[in-house]
Amino acid sequence: MKINKDTEIYGQTATLIGSVGLLSWLIPLFGFIVNTVAIGLGLYAVEDDRDGLAWVGIIFGGMGLILTMLRSGLVYYYG
Each residue's pLDDT tens digit, 11-39: 999 999 999 999 998 888 899 999 999 99
Taking the C-alpha atoms of residue 42 and residue 54, their distance in angstroms, rounded to an integer, is: 4
Q: Give the type of residue at 36.
A: T
User: In this model, does residue 7 exceed pLDDT 80?
Assistant: no
pLDDT at 4: 61
pLDDT at 25: 84
Taking the C-alpha atoms of residue 21 and residue 37, their distance in angstroms, rounded to an integer, is: 9
pLDDT at 47: 84
